[in-house]
Amino acid sequence: MTKGRIIKGVGGLYFVDTSNGIVECSIRGIFRKNKITPTVGDYVKISLLEDNTGIIEEILQRKNLLIRPRVSNIDCAVITFSIVSPNINIDLLDRFLILAESQNIENIIICINKCDLANENDIENIKSLYENIYPIVFTSTKQNKGIEELKKLMNNKVTVFAGPSGVGKSSLINTILPNALLQTGDISKKIERGKHTTRQVELLEAWENTYIVDSPGFTSLTIDFLNDNLDNYFKEFREYLGDCKFYDCKHIHEPSCAIKEQIGKNISEERYTRYTKLLNELLERN
């Protein structure tokens, strides 16, 4: 059997990248029976047929699985926003970060695009909010800025671009891989039609061992999927979580709380406030 990775799925057929090139594969009926859906990003074992097509025999264990877009084994998420057009929404940015953290993605990068439209002050503000927590890259596809820095961070990884509609995810990918030719759109027209530009899920090969996945933007994100360990998904909280007096500390009213102790030091007031808001939202839902 040959090992490979699903890079694209179209109408029940899967394109599997193997050391001998890309093989078009169907799947064993048993998968459908057991409700197992092969997913772009999956490592699979295939058997080759005489006509050079293949059959997927086995799906290897996934290290993670995103739902929107449906893709597995992601190494890196580039959470993409613009400061203007559309305006940045920090609450939504934090939700995307929490989503990525909760999916077990090892590398999370913030990308602020359309810097050609933003003023220096706003750029500095965003930078100071996040630079101690995540790698943050400021880009412009129009001025070809920040692209090399972004490429370095993506090297040897499978990277998904996520973020609201119209921030320039597909444009960034087109700049990184001129052969990708992803459809991009004019934001005002898109909002009028209430449509997104990006639909298909595909691993695009950027260079050796490096792949990119585009995703359709969404403009709101509920965190219903979280249970009660929200604090664990605030990256800068993590190293202090064991130091609270109460093991189930929610970091709100409890005494001797190591998180509250860090506010204004290694945890910013703003991130802490958004933590409390999101926690309330979760408590109200449950």
- DSSP characters for 155-223? TTSEEEEE-STTSSHHHHHHHH-TT-------HHHHHHHT--S----B-EEEETTEEEE-----S----
Which amino acid would we find at residue 22? I
The minimum distance between CB 107 and ligand GTP, in angstroms, equals 20
158-162 and 210-213: which strand pairing? parallel
Tokens of 82: 């613009």
Q: What share of the chain is helix, strand, coil (3-state, %, to 5)?
A: 30, 25, 45
Nearer to Zn ion, 81 or 240 (CB): 240
- Contact of 44 with 18, CB cutoff 8 Å: no
In angstroms, the CA 258 to CA 237 distance is 9
Q: By the criterion CB under 5 A, which residues form the site for Zn ion?
A: 244, 249, 251, 257, 259
Which partner from the list ligand GTP, Mg ion, Zn ion, none does 278 bind, CB cut-off 5 to 8 Å by kind?
none
- Contact flags string 165-204 toward ligand GTP, x per CB under 6 A: xxxxxxx------------xxxx--x-----xxx------
Total of residues contacting ligand GTP (CB under 6 A): 24
The minimum distance between CB 198 and ligand GTP, in angstroms, equals 3
The minimum distance between CB 241 and ligand GTP, in angstroms, equals 34
Which partner from the list ligand GTP, Zn ion, Mg ion, none does 251 bind, CB cut-off 5 to 8 Å by kind?
Zn ion
Nearer to ligand GTP, 39 or 139 (CB): 139
Q: Report the candidate in 21, 28, 68 with the shortest Cα–Cα distance to residue 47.
A: 28
Tokens of 75: 């190494």
Q: Which residue's Cβ has the minimum distance to ligand GTP?
A: 217
Q: Report the candidate in 111, 119, 178, 179 with the shortest Cα–Cα distance to residue 145.
A: 111
Nearer to ligand GTP, 81 or 237 (CB): 81
Which partner from the list ligand GTP, Zn ion, Mg ion, none does 249 bind, CB cut-off 5 to 8 Å by kind?
Zn ion
The minimum distance between CB 191 and Zn ion, in angstroms, equals 41
Q: Is 116 in the site for ligand GTP (CB under 6 A)?
A: yes
Say if residue 61 is exposed, middle or buried (CB neighbours under 10 Å; 0-12, 13-18, 19+).
Answer: exposed
The minimum distance between CB 282 and Zn ion, in angstroms, equals 16
Nearer to Zn ion, 96 or 272 (CB): 272
- Contact of 24 with 70, CB cutoff 8 Å: no
Counting Cα atoms < 13 Å in the Cβ hemisphere of 10 gives 8
- Contact of 161 with 212, CB cutoff 8 Å: yes
The minimum distance between CB 116 and ligand GTP, in angstroms, equals 5
Using CB under 6 A as the binding rule, the residues of this chain from 25 to 64 that contact ligand GTP are none
The minimum distance between CB 103 and Zn ion, in angstroms, equals 24
Nearer to Zn ion, 203 or 249 (CB): 249
Contact positions toward ligand GTP, by CB under 6 A? 113-114, 116-117, 140-142, 165-171, 184-187, 190, 196-198, 216-217
